[in-house]
Amino acid sequence: MKNYNMDEKLQEIEKVIGQGPYTDTWESLSAYRVPEWYSHMRFGIFIHYGVFAVPAYDNEWYSRNMYEKDSVAYKHHIETYGKHTEFGYKDFIPLFKAENFDPDRWIQTFKNAGAQYVVPVAEHHDGFQMYDSDLSSYNAKDMGPHRDILGELKKSCENGGLIFGTSSHRIEHLFFQGGGRDFDSDINGEFHRGDLYWPSIKGPSDFDAIDGECVPTEEFMQDWLVRTCEIIDKYKPNILYFDWWIQRVELKPYLRKLLAYYYNRAASWNKEVIVNYKHDAIPFGIAVPDIERGQLAAQKPYRWQSDTAMCFNSWCYTEQNKYKEAKDILCDLIDIISKNGTMLLNIGPKADGTFSDEESAILNEIGTWMNTNHEAIYDTMPYRNFGEGNVSIVEGAFQDGNVKAFSCEDFRFLAGKGHIYIIALRPSADGHYTVKSFAKKQGLFNSCISEIVRLGDNSPLNFAHDNEALHITCATEDSKDLPVVFRLSI
């Protein structure tokens, strides 16, 4: 088992913070500005890949749920693998071989889908590091596949011209497998820093609480800080994403240190970076807010991100996954872009490193649509009004379980290179589109239109512009029910 001198690591972190330009105060960190390159981000790929893909059951919380006696995962585990004393979560590690993991193929697949950035999970709640760590032996280089999964993805990502980021879900590991102490399992006993099951304390009754029960210890928070700084130094990510629970009040001093450390390191590398956060864990303006499985109802003057999955029920691969349709993902993507956001879409590879047929098909369909309509996505900015229609977006997290019933009367607007792009979220059966927001003398749009074309065909379309609406006629048949993009020229 690896060991390290905590005091030395913390002194190194303090030294970097002391060198500036940022100190570990909210006031100093408020000088941060979102970099220009991030304003061009529209679509990224999130990757949940790890030991939890081996059981391929329930969801990515298998490492917790298998120790919760009232869960389906607990029952499944006993029926499939036996008692927890004989086969615990740690025993999945040798079965995680990643024998078909091909980072170049992964990145090419993401590029073909139109992705601009990639964010693989460096460490999930289960505590298994997907990178070469000097702080614990429970990592993918020393165990399981014996490969630096994160490092290989970084190399392929940058060789492929995509922006590399990563995420840490480490903070939740504090309590994630604590249920294993409530009965006879392999988690009963004393564990120490660096052990897979350390510390496994009793979890909170309210996961979103900012204080109260389930208080992280000073040693655990120090270890969280040191682990995250190790990721920063070894992999120099452009994006650092945090899952929830960093909102805990006890973590605030360590979170300030982490931000100062990352921003100072980035300054020394002459690199501009992004941090994603949830639940007001970080004061507004110091990083980029993220909404899990949700969107915003209105256009915003600031950059934001929505992270969502291709599956309704899981972030990782399971044999029970329920997949979304590409057309619905595209509609959400367009809605998000029109409101000044970017979408981080998750894929959950199988344990061997291959993708499911369903996720491959979704990425292929998105990529085909993007290839035809790319100029409306990458070369644009939000218009004065994000759009119009009959479907109202419910704002907030965990809303993507309700598929939105968009029709040909739901439009989103973008602008770029002197054009306006009108996107019908669903095709019209008769080829007629009525855009009320572009009626003459309504204040939003009152200019002379020289031409309207549909992207992909680019032939001029018939249209009429009156005081009621802009009326577009497009005879092209749409068998796939995908969004339709019109380019309006002044």
Cα–Cα distance for residue pair 474/462, rounded to 1 Å: 7
Specify whether 97 is located in the same domain as 245: yes
The whole-number pLDDT of residue 366 equals 98
- pLDDT at residue 455 greater than cutoff 90: yes
Q: Does 124 share its domain with 27?
A: yes
Q: Tell me: do 285 and 405 sit in the same domain.
A: no
Is 44 a member of any domain? yes
Mean pLDDT of the chain: 96
Given a cut of 80, whether residue 425 has pLDDT beyond it is yes
Same domain, 47 and 166: yes
Q: Residue 442 in contact with residue 454, Cβ under 8 Å?
A: no
Is 411 contained in some domain?
A: yes
Please compute the mean of the pLDDT values over residues 328-333 and round it to a whole number.
98
User: What 8-state DSSP symbol labels residue 407?
Assistant: -
- Contact of 449 with 488, CB cutoff 8 Å: yes
Between 169 and 477, name the one with better pLDDT.
169
Residue 480: what pLDDT?
Answer: 78
What is the pLDDT at residue 442?
A: 67
Please check whether residue 248 lies inside any domain of the structure. yes
Residues 346-379 have pLDDT tens digits of 999 999 999 999 999 999 999 999 999 999 999 8
What number is the average pLDDT over the span 160-168?
A: 98
According to the model, what pLDDT value does residue 376 have? 98
Closest CA to 246 of 257, 261, 232: 257
Q: At what angle do helices 149-159 and 218-235 cross, to 10 degrees?
A: 40
User: Is pLDDT of 151 > 90?
Assistant: yes
Instruction: Specify the pLDDT at position 445.
Output: 80
| Chosen domain end from 245, 266, 292 | 292
Asked whether residue 477 carries a pLDDT value surpassing 70, the answer given is no
Residues 248 and 122 in one domain: yes
Pair (281, 422) in one structural domain: no
The pairing of beta strand 419-424 with beta strand 411-416? antiparallel
Domain containing 271 equals 6-292
Q: H or E stretch including 62?
A: helix 62-65
Helix (H, G, I), strand (E, B) or coil at 122: strand
Do 277 and 136 sit in the same domain of this protein?
yes
Pairing of strands 462-465, 470-473: antiparallel
Three-state secondary structure of 220-276: HHHHHHHHHHHHHHHHCCCEEEECCCCCCHHHHHHHHHHHHHHHHHHHHCCCCCEEE
What pLDDT, on the 0 to 100 scale, is given for residue 242? 98
Q: What's the pLDDT score for residue 475?
A: 80
- State residue 478's pLDDT score: 66
Specify whether 286 is located in the same domain as 387: no
Does the residue 371 lie in any domain? no
**DSSP 3-state assignment of 115?**
coil
Contact assessment for residue 343 and residue 333, using Cβ atoms and an 8 Å cutoff = yes
CB 131, CB 180: distance < 8 Å: no
Question: Looking at the domain assignment, is residue 272 inside a domain?
Answer: yes
Q: Which amino acid is at 460?
A: P
Length of the chain: 490
CATH of the domain at 422: 2.60.40.1180
- Overall domain count for the chain: 2
* Rg, C-alpha atoms of the chain: 24
pLDDT over 70, % of the chain: 99
Is the per-residue pLDDT at 1 higher than 90?
A: no
CA-CA-CA-CA torsion for 266, 112, 122, 330, nearest 10 degrees? 100
Any domain includes 364: no
Where a domain ends, among 240, 257, 292? 292
Question: Is a pLDDT exceeding 90 seen at residue 446?
Answer: no
CB atoms within 10 A of CB 320: 12
- Distance between CA 133 and CA 123 in Å, rounded? 11
* Domain presence at residue 131: yes
Residue 205 forms part of a structural domain = yes
pLDDT value of residue 479: 63
Residue at a domain's end among 292, 312, 343: 292
At residue 443 the predicted structure's pLDDT band, cuts being 50, 70 and 90, is low
Phi, psi of 39 (to 5 degrees): -65, -15
CATH number for the domain including 98? 3.20.20.80
Return the H-helix or E-strand segment holding 65: helix 62-65
- What does the pLDDT look like over 33-90, one tens digit per residue? 999 999 999 999 999 999 999 999 999 999 999 999 999 999 999 999 999 999 999 9
Express each pLDDT in 178-217 by its tens digit. 999 999 999 999 999 999 999 999 999 999 999 999 999 9
CB burial string 205-244: b at 16+ within 10 A, e below: eeeeeeeeebebeeebbbbbbbbbbbbbebbbbbbbbbbb
- Do 274 and 407 have their domain in common? no
C-alpha angle 374/278/42, rounded to 5°? 5
Residue 337 has pLDDT above 70, yes or no: yes
Structure tokens at 156: 């392929």
pTM over 0.95: yes
